[in-house]
Amino acid sequence: MTVRTRIAPSPTGDPHVGTAYIALFNYAFAKQHGGQFVLRIEDTDQKRSTAESEQAILDALHWTGLEWDEGPDVGGDFGPYRQSERRKHYETHCQLLVDAGHAFHCFCSAEELDTMRAEQMAAKQTPRYDGRCMRLTADEVSQRLAEGQAHVIRMRIPTEGDCVVHDRLRGNIQIPWSQVDMQVLMKADGLPTYHLANVVDDHLMAITHVIRGEEWIPSAPKHQLLYQYFGWEMPELCHLPLLRNPDQSKLSKRKNPTSILYYRDQGFLPEAVLNYLGRMGWSMPDEREQFSLDEMVSAFDIDRVSLGGPIFDLDKLTWLNGQWLKNTLNDVEYRDRLMAWMCSDSFFDQALPHLQSRIDVFSEASQWLNPLWIKDVPITEEMLTDLGLETDVLATLLQYLIWRFEDTSIWTREVVETEIRWVADSLDLKLKDVMPVVFMVFSGTRQAISAFDLAVLLGPDRTRARVRAGLNVMGGVSKKGLKRLEKSYQEAIRSIDIEKDAN
Ligand code: GLU
C-alpha cells in the first residue's frame, strides 16, 4: 500500500498556523513511509470561500517549505484538487446513497426546523432532525421534486446503539447514535456539505490516512457510516491535539498572531517555524529542540504524539528562531535571507512611493522605513496618554480597533480608514483626536508615513499585534472590563447599523 495523506484547508480566512502544523504531520508521515502528500482545497462553502484566501494559503504553505506532490497548483493524477470543480462526483455519489435508501430528500423549511429544535430544547432533548421527511412516500417525493420544491439530501442515521470509531492515537471512541444528527449531505444550492465531499474525495484520491485536528472527532461517526454505505474501506483516522494559547485556550487570533503570513512578515525563518510546529505534541527521540524537516521525517513516529494540548508560545518560537539564526546559516545564507526579508523587490515596490516625496538624501530613508523593519514598536504608556485622551477612552479605542481589524477580511487603505472612522464615530470622538493614537501605536514615532499606508504595508496581523501591544503598555483590559467593552461594542455595532438602515 502506498501511504497517501492530505491537508484539506477551506479557503475562508487567513492561512492559519494550525493548518501548517497539520500539514507538517501529514507530510512527515507520508514521506517517512515513502508515500505522497496531497493538498486539496475544500471550497464548497461558496459564501465564505474566496480566491484570495486560497492564494494566501498556497503562498503561506509554500513559504513554510512543505511541498505537496499533488494539488490545485501542481496537478496530479487524482485531480481536480479543488472541490468546486468536482461537483459531478458528489452528485453521482449522493444519488447512489439515495437509490440505496441510505439518504433521503428533506423538504423542511428553515422555520419548520427552527420550531422542531425549539420544541426539542424545551423538552430537554438534544436538538436534531427528527426524520419526518424520511416518512414521505416515493410518490410524494417525486411529486414535490417535480414541483421544484426546495430540498436538501440528508443521510440516515441509526436510531439506537453506539458508534465506535477507531483513532490511531486515542483507540476506540464511542459515541451514541442519538448524539449524531441526520447530516445534510447535499445543500439546497446543489453543493455538497463538507462531510459528503470530504469522504468522496478521500476515497477517490486514495487517501490512506486522515490526520487532522481533534475538532473533527464529532464528524467521524458520520464519515464512518458513509464509508459503510458506499462499501468502501475507511482510511485510518488520527486526530491530532489542537494548538493552544499559553493560557490553555484554543489558539486564536484574539490572543496570538495566528496567520502564517505574520511569521513570514515579522522575519521568522520558515525552517524555525516548521521546527517549532514539529515540537507541538511530538519531540525528537533525543529531545533535541532544534531539528530540520528532513531530520523530523527520518525520526518521525506518529504513535509518539502526545495528546496533552500543545502550547504555541511566541516567546519560545522566537528563541528557537534565534537558534536557527545563530547556529545554522553560513554568512552567505544569512546575508541572502536578511536581504530577502528587508530589501526584497516587492517590499521596495510597495514602500518606495512613500519615500520619494519625502526624502532629499538616501540617508533619510531609514527613518521612514524603520517602522516597517522593527519587531515591536517602542512605546510607553506616557507616549500614549500624552496624546490627550483619557486612559479608559484610550483603552476602549484600542480594544475596539483590535476587534474591527479582526473582523475585516479585506485589507486595503480604504478598509483601514473606514474601520478607524467607525471606531471614532462609535466612541463619539473626532478623527483628529484618534489619529495621533493610531499613528503612535502603528509606528512608535511622531514622524512616519501615513497611518493608513503603514497599516497596508505592515499587513493585518502585524498591525493588530501593534495595537494589542499598545493596549498592553496601558496595562491591558481586565476580564471584567473586557466583558463590559464587548457589550458596548456590540451595542455600537447595532446602533450604527440602525443609523445606516435609516439613511
Ligand atoms: N476542510 C476541513 C478544514 O478546513 C478539512 C478537515 C479534514 O481534514 O477532514 O479543516
**Helix/strand/coil (H, E, C) string of 342-389?**
HCCHHHHHHHHHHHHCCCCCHHHHHHHHHHHHCCCCCCCHHHHHCCCC
Residue 412 CA, ligand 1 centroid: distance in Å = 29
Ranges of each domain in the chain: 4-85+243-326, 87-240, 381-502
Q: Based on C-alpha coordinates, what's the Rg of the chain?
A: 26
Q: Going by C-beta distance under 8 Å and a sequence separation of 6 or more, which residues neighbour residue 152?
A: 105, 106, 184, 185, 186, 187, 188
253 in catalytic set:
yes
Task: Point out the ligand 1 atom lying closest to the alpha carbon of residue 219.
Answer: 9
Q: Determine which residue's CA is closest to atom 6 belonging to ligand 1.
A: 8
Nearest to 135 by CA among 93, 168, 105, 158: 105
Residue 239 CA, ligand 1 centroid: distance in Å = 11
| Architecture of the 4-85+243-326 domain | 3-Layer(aba) Sandwich (3.40)
Question: Which set of grid coordinates corresponds to residue 37?
Answer: 502528500
Q: Which among 4, 5, 7, 10 is the best mutation to test ligand 1's pocket, defined by most ligand atoms within 8 Å of the CB?
A: 10
Single-letter residue type at 226:
L
Q: Which among 81, 194, 195, 250 is the best mutation to test ligand 1's pocket, defined by most ligand atoms within 8 Å of the CB?
A: 194
Provide the 8-state DSSP code for 134. G
User: Can you give the pLDDT at residue 497?
Assistant: 67
Say if residue 15 is preceded by a cis peptide, omega within 30 of 0. no
How remote is the C-alpha of 288 from its chain's centroid? 29
Cα–Cα dist 200/206, whole Å: 10
Residue 148 CA, ligand 1 centroid: distance in Å = 32
Strands 4-7 and 36-39: parallel
User: Can you give the pLDDT at residue 17?
Assistant: 96
Homologous superfamily, domain 87-240: HUPs (3.40.50.620)
Cα–Cα dist 54/84, whole Å: 12
Any ligand 1 atom below 6 A from CB of 54: no
Residue 54 CA, ligand 1 centroid: distance in Å = 14
Task: Point out the ligand 1 atom lying closest to the alpha carbon of residue 202.
Answer: 9
**Which residue among the candidates 253, 326, 432, 479 is catalytic per the annotation?**
253
Any ligand 1 atom below 6 A from CB of 10: yes
Provide the 8-state DSSP code for 234. P
Is residue 272 classed exposed, middle or buried when 0-12, 13-18 and 19+ CB atoms within 10 A define those classes?
A: buried
Beta bridge pairs of residue 250: 244
User: Can you give the pLDDT at residue 35?
Assistant: 97
Any ligand 1 atom below 6 A from CB of 198: yes
User: Can you give the pLDDT at residue 476?
Assistant: 86
Q: Which among 29, 216, 243 is the best mutation to test ligand 1's pocket, defined by most ligand atoms within 8 Å of the CB?
A: 216
Sequential pLDDT tens for the chain (503 residues):
899 999 999 999 889 999 999 999 999 999 999 999 999 999 999 889 999 999 999 999 999 999 999 999 999 999 999 999 999 999 999 999 999 999 999 999 999 999 999 999 999 888 889 989 999 999 999 999 999 999 999 999 998 999 999 999 999 999 999 889 999 999 998 899 999 999 999 999 999 999 999 999 999 999 999 999 999 999 999 999 999 998 889 998 877 889 999 999 999 999 999 999 999 999 999 999 999 999 999 999 999 999 989 999 999 999 999 999 999 999 999 999 999 999 888 888 888 889 999 999 999 998 899 999 999 999 999 999 999 889 999 999 999 999 999 888 788 999 999 999 999 999 999 999 999 999 999 999 877 888 999 999 999 999 999 999 999 999 888 888 889 999 989 988 888 766 666 65
Residue 280 CA, ligand 1 centroid: distance in Å = 19
Cα–Cα dist 260/253, whole Å: 11
The CA distances from residue 196 to 81, 103, 117, 307, 393, in Å, are: 15, 11, 23, 28, 49
Residue 48 CA, ligand 1 centroid: distance in Å = 14
User: Can you give the pLDDT at residue 496?
Assistant: 73
| Contact yes or no for 192/85 (Cβ under 8 A) | no
Each residue's pLDDT tens digit, 333-359:
999 999 999 988 888 888 888 999 999
How many of the other CB atoms lie within 10 Å of CB of 497? 10
Q: Do domains 4-85+243-326 and 381-502 have the same CATH topology?
A: no
Task: Point out the ligand 1 atom lying closest to the alpha carbon of residue 22.
Answer: 8
Any ligand 1 atom below 6 A from CB of 42: yes
Any ligand 1 atom below 6 A from CB of 217: no
Nearest to 30 by CA among 293, 332, 291, 259: 293
Q: Determine which residue's CA is closest to atom 10 belonging to ligand 1.
A: 9
Distance in angstroms between the alpha carbons of the first and the last residue of the chain: 65
User: Can you give the pLDDT at residue 254?
Assistant: 78
Task: Point out the ligand 1 atom lying closest to the alpha carbon of residue 19.
Answer: 10
| Contact yes or no for 262/461 (Cβ under 8 A) | yes
Any ligand 1 atom below 6 A from CB of 9: yes
How many of the other CB atoms lie within 10 Å of CB of 283? 16
| Architecture of the 381-502 domain | Orthogonal Bundle (1.10)
Q: Which among 198, 201, 205 is the best mutation to test ligand 1's pocket, defined by most ligand atoms within 8 Å of the CB?
A: 198
Residue 379 CA, ligand 1 centroid: distance in Å = 40
Residue 242 CA, ligand 1 centroid: distance in Å = 13
Cα–Cα dist 241/239, whole Å: 7
